[in-house]
Amino acid sequence: MKPSIRQKILETSKKLFNEKGFNNVSIQEIASALGISKGNLTYYFRKKEEIIEAIVKECPRCDNPKAPDNLEDLDQYFHFMHNVIQENAFYFWHYAQMLQLSTTLKDEQRKVYEIHRKTLSLSFHLLFEAGLIRDEAFPKEYERLIDALYQSIIYWLPFCELRKEQNVSFQTHAWSIMHNILTKQGRERLENFTEYSHW
């Protein structure tokens, strides 16, 4: 099916935002890249904030993801998050700014956080029952760890630039956070993953 003008606007805008950053792309630039007039574009979206809202709200996602109950599935979850970061770089580069742009974006950020928090919370419970992670060493340790993982997702790109390490995998970073709570069985299982076998 041929994409609609509206869909083309969203796809082109996302591409330009990822390449140049949200603040460095104008409505006129998006229109020029599409070969349409600025007036034609603003018929669909009056301002960039509306484009961002549409991109975020229409981004494919699973509102009820399956909680990983083994380390292989958790690794795939971390891999999925790595891809989300790369494919939506503009969003993560400007995450704090997005909070200020509209209540719609703020509400969407809270909703996504809750989805991932609940998913990981259940996952940690299942991994504990499977003997792959240890019990909490202090109250709400898992909750704090989940927040650390989520904060890492949000600020992964700026942090990599700060450290001048553009090719670091978020998966590797996530496992370094998780490693301390893995049991002996969990660590042995993790070592079966080629990427982490030389820790």
pLDDT tens across 143-191, in order? Answer: 999 999 999 999 998 888 888 876 678 888 999 999 999 999 999 999 8
37 phi/psi in degrees, rounded to 5: -80, 160
- Residues near 191 by Cβ (< 8 Å), separated by ≥ 6? 197, 199
Give residue-wise pLDDT tens across range 93-149: 888 888 888 888 888 889 989 999 999 999 999 999 999 999 999 999 999 999 999
If asked whether residues 51 and 66 sit together in one domain, one would say: no
Query: What would the mean pLDDT of 21-28 be, rounded to a whole number?
Result: 92
Give, as one character, the DSSP assignment of residue 35: T
pLDDT in tens, 120-130: 999 999 999 99
Angle between helices 103-129 and 48-58 (to 10 degrees): 30
Q: Both 81 and 31 in a single domain?
A: no
Percent of the residues in the chain that have a pLDDT greater than 70, as a whole number: 92
Give the chain's mean pLDDT.
Answer: 89
Which of 154, 73, 173, 88 lies closest to 120, judged by CA? 73
Question: Alpha-carbon distance 9 to 21, whole Å?
Answer: 16
**Same domain, residue pair 71 and 48:** no
Burial class (CB in 10 A: 0-12, 13-18, 19+), 198: exposed
Separation of first and last alpha carbons in the chain: 47
For residue 149, which of 169, 123, 125, 177 has the smallest C-alpha distance? 177
3-state secondary structure (DSSP) of residue 182: strand
Per the DSSP assignment, residues forming a β-bridge with 182 are 133
pTM: 0.86
**From CA 13, how far away is CA 56, in angstroms rounded?**
12
Tokens of 6: 């509206």
Task: Inform me whether the pLDDT recorded for 3 exceeds 80.
Answer: no
* Residue 1 pLDDT greater than 80, yes or no: no
197 pLDDT tier (thresholds 50, 70, 90):
very low
Question: Which of 45, 65, 40 lies closest to 55, judged by CA?
Answer: 45
Domain match, 31 and 96 both: no
Residues 72 and 52 in one domain: no
Residues 37 and 90 in one domain: no
What is the predicted pLDDT for the residue at 182?
97
Q: Check whether residue 130 and residue 51 sit in a common domain.
A: no
Residue 198: pLDDT over 50 = no
What is the extent of the structural domain holding 21?
5-56
Residue 31, domain CATH: 1.10.10.60
Answer yes or no: is pLDDT of 192 > 90: no
Question: Is residue 199 over pLDDT 70?
Answer: no
In the chain, % helix, strand, coil (3-state, to 5) comes to: 70, 0, 25
